[in-house]
């Protein structure tokens, strides 16, 4: 906690787990982390418009840099999907998530934004409330990002393999229905198929675990970094925090990359989860006839 003195009154600046409310729109509470998210989206939109308006056949410096980043990202996506066509479908979503997280991670490190705010008076004293707070240091934001990634991956899987096939990934009615017909040739199906069915139910728990894993990993790393910088700034305000700020810049890139790569993997697995199964089923059906 950083204590400052103004007008003979102690003003506390506390690092809190929760985002502080700034104002209300009806019953909707706008927090400082939400304002930071809106600012990040605005900056990305402006950057996209600036680059889009200056696209030329012979690229300038900014366009060339953007094309290099996008081409490198597509190659990285190809290493996961093994298909440029599939990468081109998934990459816009994954790259947008990457940029949004990266900008929010870095904006949380800007000392200027953290010093803009207002003083809130309460019975226990006065507290400084920053107008902007790193959005990815708020669990609400990371939870929303994780829900988006997991839900979007499941929707992509439904579109890619069909609703019925994708439903059977979690509630595999096919293997239960195949038990009576396979008893004569494979009696072990009585044991194997129910196990396969319950493994599908465990996949539902796995989807929930993805949301928890993505959200808490990103929130924990970014929030811990901000607390570390605040603590070091209190102990020694000049010089010492600078190396740690550079470290947090790198951590911001790594965390954005990890989140986006995991999202890419979820999309790829959702689209291919039944490919081998369906092929095997078709071949077995052909041999039976």
Higher pLDDT residue, 258 or 171?
Answer: 258
Q: What is the pLDDT of residue 10?
A: 55
Residues 74-98 have a mean pLDDT of 93
Closest CA to 75 of 264, 207, 281: 264
Residues 125-132 have a mean pLDDT of 66
Domain residues for 47? 2-288
Helix (H, G, I), strand (E, B) or coil at 29: strand
Q: Is residue 208 exposed (0-12), middle (13-18) or buried (19+ Cβ within 10 Å)?
A: exposed
Quote the number of domains for the chain.
1
Q: Which two tokens stand for residue 263?
A: 């999202």
Q: Which residues pair with 30 in a beta bridge?
A: 23
Q: Is the pTM of this model over 0.85?
A: no
Q: What is the pLDDT of residue 168?
A: 78
The Cα 3–Cα 6 span in angstroms is 10
Q: What is the pLDDT of residue 253?
A: 94
Residues 244-257 have a mean pLDDT of 89
35-49, 167-181, 215-229, range with greatest mean pLDDT: 35-49
pLDDT band at residue 121 under the 50/70/90 scheme: low
Residues 32-45 have a mean pLDDT of 91
Distances from the Cα of 7 to the Cαs of 4, 14, 22, 55, 228, in angstroms?
A: 10, 19, 23, 54, 29
pLDDT band at residue 7 under the 50/70/90 scheme: very low
């Amino acid at each position: 906690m950083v204590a400052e003195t103004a007008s003979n009154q102690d003003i506390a600046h506390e690092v809190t787990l929760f985002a502080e409310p700034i104002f209300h729109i009806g019953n909707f509470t706008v927090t400082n982390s939400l304002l930071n998210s809106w600012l990040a989206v605005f900056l990305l939109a402006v950057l996209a418009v600036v680059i889009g308006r200056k696209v030329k056949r012979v690229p300038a410096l900014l366009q060339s840099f953007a094309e290099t980043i996008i081409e490198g990202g597509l190659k990285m996506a190809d290493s996961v999907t093994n298909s440029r066509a599939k990468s081109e479908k998934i990459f816009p979503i994954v790259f947008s998530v990457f940029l949004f997280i990266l900008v929010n991670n870095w904006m949380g490190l800007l000392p200027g934004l953290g010093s803009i705010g207002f003083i809130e008076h309460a019975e226990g004293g006065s507290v400084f409330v920053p107008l902007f707070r790193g959005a990815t240091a708020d669990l609400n934001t990371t939870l929303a990002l994780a829900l988006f990634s997991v839900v979007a991956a499941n929707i992509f899987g439904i579109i890619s393999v069909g609703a019925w096939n994708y439903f059977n990934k979690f509630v595999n009615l096919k293997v239960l229905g195949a038990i009576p017909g396979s008893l004569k040739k494979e009696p072990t199906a009585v044991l194997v198929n129910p196990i396969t069915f319950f493994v599908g139910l465990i996949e539902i728990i796995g989807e929930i675990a993805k949301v928890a894993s993505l959200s808490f990993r990103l929130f924990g790393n970014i929030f811990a970094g901000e607390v570390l910088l605040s603590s070091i700034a209190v102990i020694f305000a000049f010089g010492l925090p600078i190396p740690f700020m550079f470290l947090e810049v790198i951590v911001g890139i790594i965390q954005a990359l990890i989140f986006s790569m995991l999202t890419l993997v979820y999309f790829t697995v959702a689209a291919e989860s039944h490919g081998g199964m369906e092929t095997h089923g078709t071949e077995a059906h052909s041999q039976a006839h």
